[in-house]
Amino acid sequence: MQELRKSTDRGAANHGWLNSHHTFSFGSYRDPQHQGFSDLLVINDDRVQPAQGFGTHGHSNMEIFSYVLEGALEHKDSLGTGSVIHPGDVQLMSAGTGVRHSEFNHSATEPVHFLQIWIVPNVTGVQPNYQEKGFSAADKRGRLQLIISPDGAEGSLTIRQDARVYAGLFDGAEQATLELGPDRHAYVHVARGSVELNGQRLNEGDGVKLRREQVLSLSGGQQAEVLVFDLRPQELPTL
């Protein structure tokens, strides 16, 4: 079963320096029908103006990753980590017992466009951790590249949850399939462009909840960039 979440139905917040769209309830946006899915709690589609960003703030017991689509995102945290990530880079922060961080647009002239995504962990009160890795366009071209997993398979970043995240780029005749376990949920988010999911056309910002689907098929892409979440079979995140 596929349940479509249209881009235009998402929550929206425009703060001038930040234009954000929320797939699930976040901040002042509350939708009782969209409180997350399985262990996936947040997908925020953020565009930040030059030299602006999120000042230092704290998190605990959450798996938080950033996926840059355009521009450069500067990260600093209380673990002593500091870096600038670009398109293709994935940054994963396991907040554990607590971490403070900031995220800023590194450029003084160009906006940055990125996704910030939260996944509820399967263990709490553990040591915070930071990971970062780049995945090239070639890694993702016409296929689903594993970027996050519970065991670091295929060089992916390691998350504290039974969840796997794939990223793919699709254009023209390129296509890929993903076989899901017999008792799994999945979520597909179109970050850019458009693509067909099991024959259903999706556009930028659209998302789909999948339940009891054995195979996920992506085709007919038009400059599409897609994230796929392979998730436990439960409806709502349990904090």
Q: Is the pLDDT of residue 140 over 80?
A: yes
236, part of any domain: no
Band (pLDDT 50/70/90 cuts) for residue 21 is very high
Question: Which H or E run contains 140?
Answer: helix 137-140
Is 215 a domain residue? yes
Q: 80-126: per-residue pLDDT in tens?
A: 888 999 999 999 999 999 999 889 899 999 999 999 999 999 999 99
Contact by Cβ (8 Å): 216, 202: no
CATH code: domain of residue 161: 2.60.120.10
pLDDT 10s digits, 170-188 = 999 999 999 998 899 999 9
Does pTM top 0.85 for this prediction?
yes
Cβ contacts of 36 within 8 Å, gap of 6 or more: 24, 25, 42, 120, 236, 237
Q: What is the mean pLDDT of residues 140-158?
A: 98
Interatomic CA distance for residues 135 and 119, integer angstroms: 20
Determine the straight-line distance between the first and last CA of the chain, rounded to whole angstroms.
Answer: 26
The whole domain housing 42 covers: 2-231
Residue 223 covered by a domain: yes
Q: Is the pLDDT of residue 212 over 90?
A: no
Rounded to whole angstroms, the Cα distance separating 154 from 148 reads 9
Domain total in the chain: 1
Asked whether residue 156 is domain-assigned, the answer is yes
Q: Indicate whether 123 belongs to any domain.
A: yes
Summarize pLDDT for 36-88 with one digit per residue, the tens.
Answer: 999 999 999 999 999 998 888 999 999 999 999 999 999 998 998 889 999 99
- Position 9 scores a pLDDT of 96
